[in-house]
Amino acid sequence: MDLRDLTALSGVSGNEQAVRRALLTALKPLCDNVSIDRMGNVVAYKKGKQSKKHPKVLLAAHMDEVGFIVTSVTKDGLLKFRCVGGIDPRVIISKRVLVGEKNVPGVIGATAIHLQTAEDRARVLGYDALYIDIGAKTQEEAEADCPMGSYITFDTPYRVYGDGFVCAKALDDRVGCFTILEVLKETYPCDVICIFNSEEEVGCRGALGSAFSNEADFAIVLEGTTANDLGDVKEVNKVCRLGQGVAISFMDNASIAHRPLFKRMFELAQTKKIPHQTKTAVAGGNESGPMQREAAGKKTVVLSVPCRYIHSPSSVVKYEDVLSQQALVKAFLNDPRV
């Protein structure tokens, strides 16, 4: 399963079934044991060649993506909706979407600029002012295929463009899922526990449970993270940069990297000549928080792929950064010490 296949799957938080099924199929030939816990997290275990001599290592990524959910339907067949996860309403107007179990095509709409007041044009239109047009004429027609509670995903095809750039929806965090699948194609000295968490985008809900369910010594969280490397952004404010390798975090709003593990990642990247960089902002958060704090805790670090336009219909990564993330994880698993 490649990155194109993974991003094509619909998996808004709480509705990860399609991603879960695909991962189960891909994982079974690669692992000794694969299971699903009560929160819908996929847990895979691969025994190491010298497991008694080495610590257990956890690899974590999240299956879900940001999206929307139908909250009501108007009399003239328009869908009202809310975001699932953090999505800036400024980036979604006129974007194509797929609604419900039947993948009904629709377009996110708002009052045309010709009809907006000066006050409207001076402010960001909120979700209350937006709707989804699926071409229905009546409330009954729309509700037949898209009842309240239907999930909505962006309809964005996977595209490769420029000098190795990839544009798609859900790169946060299908890049992490893809890295784990690629890493599991090889065998390592240590035991490897892999968790594909559910509902990360709405508060790391899956990780709050999965953090208790394993006895790993180290936790490596694999993510996509905002880059902020374009336009007139000052050099000091560029969080990380596409094309400069995997981003290693010292701290975010959820966790502080285990210092020796943080340094070890840099040492390995330099020794193995793996492109890498430091994530230079303390912002955001992910399942590293629960992994670090729950139960007895774990020594944790986050390795991210820089991503432009994150949490939007068209996020962008550079494929060589994905390969750098994979290379650094493999390097540590082959020599899992701090």
CATH number assigned to the domain comprising residue 286: 3.40.630.10
- At 68 the three-state DSSP class reads strand
- pLDDT for the residue numbered 28: 96
Same domain, 113 and 242: no
Q: Would you say residue 27 lies in a domain?
A: yes
Question: Within a domain: residue 80?
Answer: yes
Q: Are residues 109 and 204 in the same domain?
A: no
Instruction: State the pLDDT at residue 287.
Output: 87
Whether 159 is in a domain gets the answer no
Whether residue 61 is found in the same domain as residue 72: no
Task: Please check whether residue 160 lies inside any domain of the structure.
Answer: no
- pLDDT for position 267: 97
Q: How far apart are CA 71 and CA 92, in angstroms?
A: 17
Out of 154, 184, 214, a domain closes at 154
Nearest to 249 by CA among 279, 272, 273: 279
Bridge partners of 247, per DSSP, are: 277, 304
Looking at the fold, whether 179 and 297 belong to one and the same domain comes out as yes
Q: Are residues 196 and 261 in the same domain?
A: yes
> Taking the CB of residue 21, how many other CB atoms lie within 10 A of it?
12
Q: What pLDDT, on a 0 to 100 scale, did the predictor assign at position 171? A: 98
Instruction: Name the active-site residue from 16, 182, 199, 200.
Output: 200
Q: Are residues 77 and 52 in the same domain?
A: no
pLDDT at 254: 82
Judge whether 199 lies within some domain.
yes
Which of 154, 182, 202 corresponds to the end of one domain?
154
Which CATH number is 99's domain given? 2.40.30.40
200 is a catalytic site residue = yes
Interior CA angle at 305 toward 304 and 310, to 5°?
105
Please give the pLDDT value at position 286: 87
Question: What's the pLDDT at 288?
Answer: 86
The count of domains in the chain is 2
Using the 3D structure, point to which of 95, 120, 154 is the last residue of a domain: 154
Q: Are residues 270 and 185 in the same domain?
A: yes
Q: Are residues 180 and 255 in the same domain?
A: yes
Which pLDDT value is given to residue 115? 62
pLDDT at position 235 is: 78
162 lies in some domain: no
Residues 184 and 320 in one domain: yes
Considering the domain boundaries, does residue 198 fall inside one?
yes
249 pairs with which residues across the strands?
279
pLDDT at 237: 78
**Domain identity same for 174 and 309:** yes
Q: Return the pLDDT at 139.
A: 97
Regarding whether 89 and 45 lie in a shared domain, the answer is: no
- In whole angstroms, what is the distance from residue 252 CA to residue 271 CA? 26
Q: Mark whether 211 and 198 lie in a shared domain.
A: yes
Amino acid at 294: E
Does some domain include residue 164?
no
Average pLDDT by stretches of 10, the chain with 338 residues: 97 97 97 95 95 91 98 97 96 96 96 72 85 97 97 97 97 97 97 96 90 85 91 81 95 89 96 95 83 81 96 97 98 94
Q: What is the pLDDT of residue 302?
A: 95
List Cα–Cα distances, 286 to 125, 185, 311, 321, in angstroms: 28, 26, 14, 19
The strand pair at 276-279 and 67-73 is best described as unpaired
Give me the domain span that covers residue 90: 67-154
What is the predicted pLDDT for the residue at 188? Answer: 97
